[in-house]
With several copies, the nearest count.
Chain A
């Protein structure tokens, strides 16, 4: 394993410190318990707090700032943060309008945020993001995983909170966006958890993992490597089967790189997907291409489709100023 590190123990703290040094106008960090929050706290709005294991950067710390999150709790690599972090973050950003926790649906995140929610003496709600259609959920009570749709949820509810919507409304909007997002990813190579020091999974030079998770978890099936068009077609088929958008619907297409796949390929995937969506009579009204929900240095990508309505479009377009997403400001 070759990674830019001084020690695996100090990785998170050093990386968070770097984030703050690089964006001192945007974010500030608190340690013990560790969370990152806006440099200039909002004065009267629902506080949006997300978080999760590290290794998915820029998610979530890269989305802190005007029009998006108020704070993010930083866990160890691929390990949910702990309730004390969430409570400290909530106390730091609360303006009296309550806290919405945005949580990706994993046992760890769900249990820790749930405990924080119970222990917190501030009014709070939680939205569980579960956009990953790789996991056919019906038989399992745990539902689906939360993946790249999280960015879209955080952007749209971020704009809503900035507009002054109340906690109940924010929760409803976030749930609405989540319901209209579906994602699926594919891995070409594995990621390496720094403290483990070796690949999470083995994969041959001619294999791909269809439906991989953003922690390198196995997906639907192991397959032979094939052309980009064929891969995209499989991913979109699963996504469309889940979302069932009507012909003529407006969509946001998000091509998300997992870390080691170059942008030249991500745009190629966008092109493949666009051709299929054209043929289905769907209109790509908004797009997002890049590494937003990563899995360390895994090569691969996910596609996320989000069916838009006028309100979602408006909120998506609203100004945002964070380290990783910025427009209108």
Chain B
């Protein structure tokens, strides 16, 4: 998959966030400060506004540009974390010097991105954050990349994202704003986990659809 397709995924992601806007928003009202939807939306808007500038670039360059832009436009806790994710993905892909993304080179990039979030946020699995979606997805992806076919990978990642998102519900938060709530955060899904799950699902759907529509290897 080339930058063109990455951009298509981003549009799909934006669409999916809008579809789930009410959920995402109310989760951050419940255990956060009510701005997560707005932050993610702002991120989507600025990236979508860059699309024509990004199209001619190789994917690693596109990711780096997206990361830089997000770093200066989202803010909050999620902004620098998501920005770090894109910046690290750009670095990883740049190192592998590929013009085209495949499951094989994208999985380590994705893992590098998730690792960057862990470092930046000083957080790990089980702290009731977006990482409860991202870490298991990265792990599953790494296990399947090069082993399973694209639809199977998409299927597995979607399931993993869903499971991770739901797992945050009964957790005590130890990072992010919800950590201040102690027991009162229990019973609420983490908003960042929700938006990441929505994003991953949208991307998997887009990849699957593209495979259905054409069987060129450029997609996977």
Contacts and interface: CB of A to CB of B under 8 A. Distances in A.
- In the complex, are there CB atoms of A and B closer than 8 Å? yes
A78 B77 contact: no
B46 to A, nearest CB: 11
A108 B35 CA distance: 12
Interface in B27-79: 29-35, 37-39, 42, 71-79
B80 A112 contact: yes
Interface in B164-220: 173-177, 179-182, 184
B35 A111 contact: no
Contacts of A267: none
A200 interface: yes
B49 to A, nearest CB: 13
B177 A106 contact: yes
A76 B180 CA distance: 21
Contacts of B32: 215, 217
A80 B77 contact: yes
Interface in A62-86: 75-85
A201 B184 contact: no
Given A139-B182, A218-B31, A115 B80 contact: yes
Contact of B71 (A79, A84, A217): A84
Contact of A142 (B72, B80, B120, B175): B175
A82 B175 contact: no
B33 A193 contact: yes
B29 A201 contact: yes
A140 B180 contact: yes
A200 B35 CA distance: 9
A82 B73 contact: yes
A82 B174 contact: no
Contacts of A196: 25, 29, 34-35, 37-38
A7 interface: no
Q: Which of B77, B120, B174, B176 has the most C-beta atoms of chain A within 10 angstroms of its own C-beta? A: B77
A140 B72 CA distance: 29
Q: Which of A136, A195, A215 has the most CB of B within 10 A?
A: A195
Interface residues of A, number: 38
A80 B77 CA distance: 7
A257 interface: no
Nearest to A112: B80
Contacts of B184: 218
B134 to A, nearest CB: 16
Interface hub of A79, A83, A139 (most chain B Cβ within 10 A): A79
B38 A115 contact: no
B42 A76 contact: yes
* Chain A interface, >50% SS class: loop
Interface in A110-125: 111-112, 115
A82 B33 contact: no
Contacts of A193: 33-35, 38
Contacts of B77: 80, 106-108, 111
Contacts of B37: 196
Nearest to A84: B72
A83 B175 contact: no
A213 interface: yes
Nearest to B39: A79
Nearest to A77: B35
Query: Interface range on chain B: under 10, 10 to 19, 20 to 34, or 35 or more?
Result: 35 or more
Contact of B29 (A144, A145, A200): A200
Interface in B98-149: 120-122
Interface in A165-211: 193, 195-196, 200-201
A200 B29 CA distance: 5
Nearest to B185: A218
Contacts of A107: 77, 121, 175-177
Interface string A292-328: 0000000000000000000000000000000000000
B148 to A, nearest CB: 35
B81 interface: yes
Contacts of A145: 180
Contacts of A139: 174, 182
A289 interface: no
Contact of A108 (B38, B76, B174): B76
A216 B80 contact: no
Nearest to A200: B34
A33 interface: yes
B38 A76 contact: yes
A82 B77 CA distance: 10
A76 B34 contact: no
Interface of B: 25, 29-35, 37-39, 42, 71-81, 120-122, 173-177, 179-182, 184
Interface of A: 33, 53, 75-85, 106-108, 111-112, 115, 134-136, 139-142, 144-145, 193, 195-196, 200-201, 213, 215-218
Given A145-B180, A215-B32, 14 more contacts: A53-B76, A79-B38, A79-B76, A84-B71, A107-B77, A107-B176, A140-B173, A141-B122, A141-B174, A141-B179, A142-B174, A201-B30, A215-B33, A217-B181
5 contacts: A79-B39, A82-B75, A196-B37, A215-B177, A216-B33
